[in-house]
Structures are given as structure tokens and as C-alpha cells.
Chain A
Amino acid sequence: MSQSIKLEVVTPERPVFSAEVAEVQFPTAARGYYGILPGHTPLMTEVGDGLLYYVQDGQKHWLTVFGGFAEVGPDRVTILARESETVEMIDLERAEASRQRALKLLKEAQTEHDLATAQAKLDASLIRLQAAGHPAGHGF
């Protein structure tokens, strides 16, 4: 059996990541996180918003993922994300500005819908900040 997993993360805008890794964990839309090791049974699920990590050469690395699908096979994990970034791609200033804006919107929100959009924005910016604030190897 293969000792590594080929992790591929692609979005409609660009291929984000592709490499052999030892372990992957990603957020799902419905059931918390899935941790995948080589030899996993074939699986297909919806991806949620949050942080994905993979282990390469004994080190943890982080990616953000926002929605999409994951397909798992014994020696591969394919993530078809709506959006995804590596830590290097994240614009810290933009994420911080977006967080401030979201907080403001959250206070001013009148309707249920406004509230939900503001909350989603806040969550997205927090995920990005968290990813950038936890450089490879540190973990939570």
C-alpha cells in the first residue's frame, strides 16, 4: 500500500496545490473535520469553510478552503474548492480590513439576511487571519 497521499487542491480560478503528503485534514460542510491517512476508503463529501492542513516531511502546513467537494481515494485526496489559498497567497492587510468591515456591518445589520452575510464575511476573514497567524509547523 502506498505510504503517501497525492493531495490536489484546485479552484475555478487556479490550481492551488499539488504534492505528495503524509496526512490531510479538511473541514466538511456537515460533519466537522475529516482526517485522512494513506489507504483511506473511497469517499466523497462536501467541503465546508475553514482550514485544511497537510503533513509533509513531518511538518504541518495550512491552506484555507471555502466550500466545494472532496474526493478521497486510497492514495489521493482531490479538493474541488470554490475558493482556496495557501498561506503565502493570503493578503494579511486585506483580511484584517475585511474583518473590520464585517464587524461594522454586523453592528449595523438590520435584517436577518444582512446579519448572515456579515457573519459569513467575518468568518472568512477570521479563517484567513488564523491561517496566516499559524505559519507552517506551529499548529493550534
Chain B
Amino acid sequence: MELNIIIGGKAGAGIKEAGRMFARVIANLGYYVFVDVDYPSLIRGGHNFVNIRFSDKKIMSVKSKADIIIATDGRSIRAHEKDAKEDTVWVINEKERREGAIRAPFKEVAPGFFKSSSVLGVLLKLLGIPLEEGLPLILSLPQKEKNESIYREAYNSVSEVYKIRKLSETKRELLTGNEAIALGAVDGGLDIYVAYPMTPASPVLHYLAKNKNELGIKVVHPENEISVINMALGISYAGKRSMVGTSGGGFALMTEALSLSGMAEIPLVIYEAQRAGPSTGVPTYTAQSDLLFCLFAGHGDFPRIVLAPGDAEEAYFLSREALNLAWKFQVPVLLLGDKTLGESIFTAEINREKRVEKPKLWNGNGDYKRYEITDDGISPLAFPGTENITVKVTSYEHDERGITVEDALLVKKMQDKRLKKAETIRNYMINEDYAIKIEGNPQSKRVIITWGSNKGVVNEVAEETGYKVIRPLILEPFPHERIKGEIERAEKVIGVECSASGQFIRLLSMYGIRVDANIKKYDGRPFYKDELKSLIERY
């Protein structure tokens, strides 16, 4: 049992809110749900839609063709004709006309405002879900009396088409990737989150700012991204765990200080939520085209870690892990997501657990040297304010105390120290269980290799078409030996990625991993399940 529903309307008409409320209701009935939010970069007008798919099985993708289309305005009818099948059930605004469509009153609480209550009412009745299942959500809205009467009127205006029954008494948890990242960071010991607003990373800033008191953290929104990252480095230097969040353009502004984090060996976590570029690009749409930028950003040679979660559960886990890794190795850690991961709603099971690992700390004996040469390349940490020592960090090449040097031997010695640290990181990371995931049909000789938020759609398609899926979650240091081991006996390897130039395949080729074909999508939209399946079936 599964259905795919599109709800369309003007920006600011509460379409996203309707999708969120419906997802809540259907997850309460025990179903798995995935919501892709498609909206333009504007506040009012334009065209928004949510694409919702729910199922009794675990799903994490949407289809391009909908079983139900709810068009709350005339433009939505025209916009979604291409998404309709012959048997699609259409519900349109009572003022509009379309052959075979059900007409319903999509009323607003005030002119030009949210239609979410009426949409929810219509949808629940259509699916044969009792009115009471949606009522608590309606009653939690502002102007609840008005919303309730609109909801009831809408519910009673249409007839049942489906009969969706309660699946279990267990209510499934809903989470966006961005919420998961925020919670993961907090459970990894985050003290201060610093960010300048930029879609699609801003929801992390909003969530943490709203809940900072309960979460016991501080949140700062400074003058620009350059300030953001330098502030975060100051926070880490003083001994508190910091994290920043941005998208490609903001990260571009941060790259000078990324290199500083590498040179000064200051722990830092950067959440980079990719959107369709280049430049300002298509701000509210998705892409995986900052991959090579994130792997190589920053001048000079320095170690870094790049992690790429595929869904909300992995986003939570890797965000928490990112905080610990940054402090374990005193390096910048990039958490590479995208709009699909960040803003989509997932049914996710997350058992929150605080996990803050103690970093390598100075033992308090003798003189303190911030950049002490050690066997593993990692120098013990101490923080300013510690009696009888000075803690000196610097953007210049330096000696063990942190004093500027230019002498050839000393310069090489410190480069070697950081290389040693890179080796320590590599040995640790590539042996982590989660470095690569093997999904789909693990025995198959036909392989799809992909990364990031393609997880859900690729795994579903692979299960149906009998492909094995290889997906690295650690992109730097790259677990290429393990990937090679997994494709050794493959007869066919297909790449799947959201980048016009095929950045992921280029990354693989750097390590001598070749694919037979690469399926690329770069229109700002995620892969839809039916679309990807037909593309895969061509090979």
C-alpha cells in the first residue's frame, strides 16, 4: 500500500505546512512517509508544491507521477498536468475547472494566508481517515476556532476515494535532515552554533536559535560568513565546541579561514548544505555540485574530514560524529548535505544519546607546547586561562610553541607533523564501519555507486531492479580500497549523482575507480523513483 500525493499552491499559502501536517497524521497511523518540498526563492506568489509519498514499507523518495494532485489554485492545475497519470485523482479549487476533478473549498483564515487547514481536511476525507486524526494539529494553530471550522467544512465537502487504515498503534517520528543535524551536533557536545542565513542551511540556525535555552547552547548570527568562521575558531580555541552552517556561496567566503583551521589545528565543524549553483544559482533547489569544492577548498596542504549523510538518521549520527572527530584530530570536519537531505521530511528512528568524547588534553606537566611533535601528529590541547602556561595558536608556520618560523628545516618539520596527523586520521577513518554502506542487493554483480541524499531513491530502485548499492559516507579520507574490494567482481557499475559535470565520478577516477555509465541529474530537483528506475533499466 503506497500513495504519492502532490499539493500545489501559491508561496505563502501554507502548502508546506499542509504537507507537514499531513505527514504527521499519516506517521501517527504507523506509515512511513517522505516529503519533498519544492518552493521558489520568494515570499509571496509564485508556485510551491510538496510531493508526499507514504507507504507501509520503509521509503525515502517520491515519484514524479502522483496518485492524488491537490491544486489549490489555477496555476497548480497547469503546473502539475505533467505529473498526472490517467487515474490520478484531482482535487481543485471550487472556482476552477478541470474535467473529472473534484472541487473543494480551499479557504484561507484570512485573505492571502494559509490554506493548510482546508487542504488537510480535504485530503484526510479523500483518504478515508477520520476527522479526529487531524484535529489536534488544527487546534494547535493560531486562530484555532476559525481554522477548525474551515477544516471541518473542507472535510465534509468531498467524498472518500481511498480507505487508509491505521497500520499500528506506534506513531512514527518525523524529522527533517536539518533538524537531525541540529540534534546530532547538540548530542556531540555543541556549545555555540554560528551561522549567517543561507538556504538551505538556515533551518538549522532557526531550530537551534528557537530551542537554545532547552538545548543549553548559544547561537550567534554575525555580520557575514567570514565573521562566522573566524568567530567559531575563536570559540574552539577558548575550549568550547563550535559549529557553523552555510551553503556553497557562504562556504566560498569561509575558505580562507578553513585553511587557518588546518594550519592552527583548531577543531571546527562546517555544515555545507548544497544547492544548485554555480554562483547564486537556484537557491531553493538541490544539487551535489559542491563535492569537489568541499574536498579541495582552502589554500595549502592540510588534513580534513568530509562526511556525507544520506538521510535524517545518518545526518544525526554523522553530525554528532563530526563534533567528536573535529576535537579528536583538531581538524576541520565538513558535513556535506544538500537541500533534499536538509529540508525533506523523513520518518526517522533516532535514539538520542549524548556522546562527547574527551579529546587529547595536556597532562599539566612541564612547559606547554601547543604544537608539540608527537608520534601520531596530534598535540595535546590546553586552553587560554590555564595557570602558568601560554597557549599560542597562529596562521603562520610555527615552531612547537606556536611562534612564527620561516627556517627551511622547521617549516618541513611542521608540514611533516600535519602529514603524520593526516595518516593517523586516514588509518582511523577508513576502518570505521560506516565509511561505506552496502545496500540494495549485496550479492548482485550489477552495482550502483552513489553518495549523499540519493540514498533513499537509489536503494529503493536497486531493491526492485536487483542492483547492489555502494555508498561512501566518508568522502575524505576516501575509502577507495574498500570500494575497490566491493566492485572487484562487478560486471557493471553505474554512477548516480546530482552534478552536471559528474563530480563524484571524477572523484572515483582519481582513485582509479571506473564506472560503465553515469546517471546525472542537474535540474535542481532530486531523482524521482519512477524516473531513476527507468534510467537504470536502460543499462
Q: Do A and B bind each other?
A: no
Residues of A whose CB lies within 8 Å of any CB of B are none
Residues of B whose CB lies within 8 Å of any CB of A are none
